[in-house]
């Protein structure tokens, strides 16, 4: 079990989970709806199953690439801790559990579940033919807020879609920063990424632009949020402010000539940004 948790980097769930909970609370506090613990549990299970399937499939598909890359050769499949067959079984198991769980939410979630799987599993192929792979990853994680909202209401709404846009540009940006570590390897092995295509300097500039777009969508969503839910107070804006501060702080950690703090920028800073935003927004709903 420890190896499977390591295989799927379960701790990285912190990126999308607070935004999924955001979508859930946006729906649960709409007129005519209520917070149901059973629905919340199903949403959390969907998050776990979908992400586990996606991450395990990525590790399965990239096992040969990972074995050649010194940075990733210690991962579970190339290191022999988890076999390819075990990883693939884990993918099918979690994909089936994800689809099965959506059945208990509502028909729309069930019918859209294969589309969600197509996006999050399809991401693993994209680095083989397009540098836009970072945006596909962002799209996959951006399904969290709107998916959780659909789980409660069964219909789309503009505000959770705004938060999905926040996630899309935020994740795409920080994934470009993370990919800086493999710029040389990607070029040598004909793999596609923004750093390999544009170089470090322009890749970092694009990441900054994407995070500016994420910040603008977050501010727009914040204004619409407090107008739609007048019971919310300053806690939501505190969460938004902390998210934005950490969003731009990560760009002080990485330069074209110094990648030593990429992991700090990637995991710690972005994980804290998502966690703080989601925590203060949810607390605002509850108090």
Tokens of 54: 């996606």
Euclidean distance between CA atoms 14 and 73, whole angstroms: 24
Q: What is d(CA 195, CA 34) in angstroms, rounded to the nearest whole number?
A: 45
Contact 257, 222 (CB under 8 A): no
CA distance 280 to 238: 7
Angle (CA) 170-15-238 rounded to 5° is: 75
Instruction: Provide CB contacts within 8 A for 73, sequence distance 6+.
Output: 66, 67, 79
Distance from C-alpha of 80 to C-alpha of 287, rounded to nearest angstrom: 49
pLDDT of residue 265: 84
User: What are the structural domains of the chain?
Assistant: 9-286 (1.10.357.140)
Residue pLDDT, tens place only, 148-157: 999 999 999 9
Tens digits of per-residue pLDDT, 107-144?
999 999 999 999 999 999 999 999 999 999 999 999 99
Task: Convert the pLDDT of each residue in 9-59 to its tens digit.
Answer: 656 678 899 999 999 999 999 999 999 999 999 999 999 999 999 999 999
pLDDT at 271 over 80: yes
- Tell me the pTM: 0.95
pLDDT reading at 2 higher than 70 = no
For residue 15, give the DSSP letter.
T
Crossing angle of the two packed helices 158-179 and 133-153, in degrees rounded to 10: 150
């Amino acid at each position: 079990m420890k190896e499977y948790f390591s295989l799927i980097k379960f701790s990285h769930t912190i990126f999308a989970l607070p935004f999924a909970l955001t979508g859930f609370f946006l729906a649960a506090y709409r007129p005519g709806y209520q917070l149901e613990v059973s629905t919340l549990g199903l949403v959390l299970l969907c998050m776990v199953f979908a992400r586990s399937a996606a991450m395990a499939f990525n590790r399965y598909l990239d096992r040969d690439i990972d074995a050649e890359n010194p940075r990733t050769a210690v991962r579970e499949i190339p290191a022999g801790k988890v076999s390819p067959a075990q990883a693939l079984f884990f993918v099918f198991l979690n994909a089936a559990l994800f689809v099965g769980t959506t059945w208990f939410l509502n028909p729309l979630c069930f019918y859209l579940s294969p589309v969600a799987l197509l996006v999050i599993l399809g991401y693993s192929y994209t680095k083989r033919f397009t540098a836009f792979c970072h945006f596909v990853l962002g799209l996959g994680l951006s399904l969290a807020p709107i998916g959780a909202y659909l789980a409660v209401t069964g219909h789309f709404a503009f505000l959770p879609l705004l938060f999905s846009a926040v996630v899309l540009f935020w994740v795409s940006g920080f994934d470009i920063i993370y990919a800086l570590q493999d710029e040389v390897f990607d070029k040598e092995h004909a793999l596609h990424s923004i750093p390999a295509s544009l170089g470090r300097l322009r890749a970092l500039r694009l990441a900054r632009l994407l995070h500016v777009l994420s910040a603008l969508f977050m501010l727009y969503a914040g204004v619409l949020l407090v107008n739609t839910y007048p019971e919310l107070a300053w806690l939501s804006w505190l969460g938004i402010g902390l998210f934005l501060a950490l969003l731009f702080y990560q760009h002080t950690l990485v330069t074209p000539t110094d990648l030593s703090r990429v992991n700090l920028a990637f995991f710690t800073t972005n994980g804290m940004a998502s966690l703080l935003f989601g925590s203060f927004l949810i607390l605002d709903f509850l108090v």
